Chains A and B, each alone.
Chain A
Amino acid sequence: MSALGELQRMRKGSRGTLGVAREPKKDNKAAFAFLLPWFAGLLFITAGPIAASFVLGFTDYNLIQPPVFNGLDNWMRMLGDARLHKALGVTLVYVLVSVPLQLACALALALLLDKGLRGLAFYRSAFYLPSLLGSSVAIAVLWRQIFGADGLFNQVLSMAGIEGKGWISDPDSALSTLIVLNVWTFGAPMVIFLAGLRQIPAMYYEAAATDGAGKWTQFRRITIPLLSPIVFFNLVLQVIHAFQSFTQAFVVSGGSGGPSDSTLFYTLYLYQRGFGNFDMGYASALAWLLLVIIAAFTAINFWAAKFWVVYDD
């Protein structure tokens, strides 16, 4: 029997070998104690405003005068709202393209920067630095230095004899520049991956090494399964996050979602309705539609997790 196999058996059968069956009894009391702050937060901070936004979704509410119930009007209006449909399309493309790209970059760099290289602290910090800037006011100006008409990208292109354009202000490429911007800030998931890598007990690798398993085998049979809860976490959260993506599009497009709505993210549209048009009733209904969409995606993620995420409990 190989050491690696031994290890996996040990992990799977841990309860058996230790002889402690999980108690059938529930820990309700202890759980309540540990969850007390969270319950209090849910009750006093979170629930009220969430419930209010739900109710407001069935009203005509202009922020200044009291809301007026209008039944399902807001929801019917969504069917014929062309800009909403455009925003849904833009957001979906953004989520489906930028999340996998960003996570792949983050994971690749985390593996590279895990250990065994000089200057790790420097590289980690360098790759993380952009994430610090990602949502600041300066980003609108900075991004234009790269993808604007006089930006770095065009300068490189012109060296190759290609004539550029204002990439941010062309509806065919504007969304792509925002996807690049999101990938550029891969520092956050990278840090989480790094932390996750560090939590894998060294003994597993030692056992595998004595067994003569190569790096690749170790990666496939130890790193990937043991990191899977963290990959899963990043995937779930980045999907939620990408659906709600707001600041970058807002700052880069000056709040318009332009040019010609090509970067009109869902929350940006919702914000325009709510604060720009004093249409908070409709905005609230839009928010709840988004919640349903995100919840569906999250549920799919949780369902799919059964097939690839390995837990130790």
Chain B
Amino acid sequence: MPVTIATVTKIASLARIAITEEEAARIAPELDNIMGWIEQLGEVDTTDVAPIMAVIPNHLRLRDDVVNADPLTGGGIRDAVLANAPQGEHGFFTVPKVIE
């Protein structure tokens, strides 16, 4: 399926990347070319093949239900969490007003 300017506009919107019409027009043939190259995957017969789950055999470990056991994964660090915020006040991050 060809990647059109309309496709690019749609995926850029889904990905929240602002693009101009000119950019979309430039990107569309590029992506179309890349996707065309990727299409060759369709040649592979994957009947009865399961999608890969873990490249190296391993099992999912579960954590104990303990609060702030490790400062690197726990809370109570508001200053560190907010330190890099482009905008914030009164202990909150702030964003342009959202109308729900």
- Tell me whether A and B are bound partners: no
B positions within 8 Å CB-CB of A: none
